Amino acid sequence: MQHERSEAAFEAAQTYIAGGVNSPVRAFKSVGGSPVFINEASGARITDIDGNQYIDFVGSWGPMVVGHAHPDVVNMLQSLVGRGTSFGAPTELETDLARRVVEMVPSIDRVRFVNSGTEATMTAIRLARAATGRPKIVKFGGCYHGHSDSLLANAGSGMMTLGIPSSPGVTEGTVADTITIPFNSLPDVKEVFHEVGDQVAAVILEPVAGNMGVIPPAIGFLQGLRDMTRENGSLLIFDEVISGFRLAPGGAQEYYGVTPDLTCLGKVVGGGLPVGAFGGRADLMEQLAPTGPVYQAGTLAGNPLAMGAGIATLEILSQPEAYRKLDSLGEMLERGLRDAASRAGVPVHVNRVGSMMTGFFQTGPVTNFESAAKSDTGRYGAYHRAMLEQGIYLAPSQFEATFVSLAHTEADIAAAGEAAAKALASV
């Protein structure tokens, strides 16, 4: 494959856009090489500006669970765009999508739409602090909840010590009330509640981690968090920006049967347009302005085009067998990667939940950030490049998820397995 136009486009982009990209991971820094610039996409395929076509296993980092340019989504947008794109006033489209979210997600009686997952989690923790009158937030190392200041925190030296900013520009004061502990460790959660339980407003987590690679919750972990937060008068927040509407109609909380107090959503709920959302019990959500004192607002929140794309996407996902098909394709992809790694004699540990998975370049197990960090990222980079050259588009980072969609076919999955066998033989 040649990538001359993408390379020139990346040069040009860097003249005007910081780093040449509008989100860091797109720059291919952790895998090497120059990012490919996309010209168009349809179904499970994307085509770059050099005319190279790829089977897409990134899916825009999760939103494209029904495939790119699905006719029902395109038709919905075409029916709306000529009637105006934004009014800054309520529309019935917002109520339609809100009704679907409330009907599908067990924890949500009321929802508020925002423009990104970052806004959803940022506001959910503000609401939790207001509702409980408590300052502290507990999060887990390796879980990513967007880039709001108080969630850009790493663990302090000791568990109870102040959070450490994970980015310049985030002040120590801002993360002083953010406690970061290891994922899947109930004893650490128990210790936090023993020490400062009466100060903890909420525990927030990805119920299935996707941002340190895919890491499922340990058996009993989610229920343990549910029990300890309830006992301590703290709220449990599931960040389902990735898992929402992907693992089941009701996301991970339906998949695992554990209901949080607040849920954050994004990606799939917007069908590829900018939508985030958060929701929970009515008594919590009614504390938001204008019915309550907790402030949140947004010019483009509930944008009619975005609502339309979300409505069309959730409608497609309501078809019978949708989730069985997603899980079956995910299982086939996992099996293909395991077989390829075994034949090549390359240690790849695969974690998968439904249609999201990660092949960690190590022997495993991978149960938290510390174990994920043992992966051979250099070897992953070589694998990524070898797969790209065979027309398979994977996440440009070892610590992300591989996604399948309803648009992938068994032939696509088989092709990815064959490409993996060749790629692994060369890394």
User: Hey, which residues are catalytic here?
Assistant: 144, 239, 267
**Applying CB under 6 A, which of residues 35, 400, 403, 413 lies at the interface with ligand KE4?**
400
Name residue 138's beta-bridge partners. 179, 203
- SS3 string of 179-206? EEECCCCHHHHHHHHHHHHHHEEEEEEC
Q: Closest distance between ligand KE4 and the C-beta of residue 209, in Å?
A: 8
Helices vs strands, H then E, count in the chain: 14, 16
Task: Pick between residue 26 and residue 338 the one whose CB is nearest to ligand KE4.
Answer: 26
Q: Closest distance between ligand KE4 and the C-beta of residue 240, in Å?
A: 8
**CA distances (Å), origin 212, targets 88, 141, 183:** 37, 9, 11
Task: Pick between residue 120 and residue 201 the one whose CB is nearest to ligand KE4.
Answer: 120
30 sits near ligand KE4 (criterion: CB under 6 A): no
Which residues from 276-305 bind ligand KE4, rule CB under 6 A? Answer: 276
Residue nearest to ligand KE4 (CB): 117
Residue whose tokens read 């494959």: 1
Q: Closest distance between ligand KE4 and the C-beta of residue 397, in Å?
A: 9
Mapping DSSP to helix (H, G, I), strand (E, B) and coil, where does residue 68 land?
strand
**Applying CB under 6 A, which of residues 2, 23, 157, 299 lies at the interface with ligand KE4?**
23
Task: Pick between residue 181 and residue 395 the one whose CB is nearest to ligand KE4.
Answer: 395
Backbone angles phi, psi at 112, to 5 degrees: -130, 125
Q: Closest distance between ligand KE4 and the C-beta of residue 399, in Å?
A: 9
251 sits near ligand KE4 (criterion: CB under 6 A): no
Residue whose tokens read 């300890």: 228
**Applying CB under 6 A, which of residues 212, 242, 341, 424 lies at the interface with ligand KE4?**
242
**Applying CB under 6 A, which of residues 206, 254, 261, 334 lies at the interface with ligand KE4?**
206
367 sits near ligand KE4 (criterion: CB under 6 A): no
Stretch that binds ligand KE4, among 167-175, 204-212, 217-225, 365-373 (CB under 6 A): 204-212
244 sits near ligand KE4 (criterion: CB under 6 A): no
In DSSP notation, 67-127 reads -BT-HHHHHHHHHHHTT-S--SS--HHHHHHHHHHHHH-TT-SEEEEESSHHHHHHHHHHH
**CA distances (Å), origin 35, targets 50, 369, 371:** 12, 26, 28
Taken as a whole, the chain contains a residue count of 427
Applying CB under 6 A, the residues found at the interface with ligand KE4 are 23, 25, 61, 116-118, 121, 144-146, 206, 210-211, 239, 241-242, 266, 276, 400
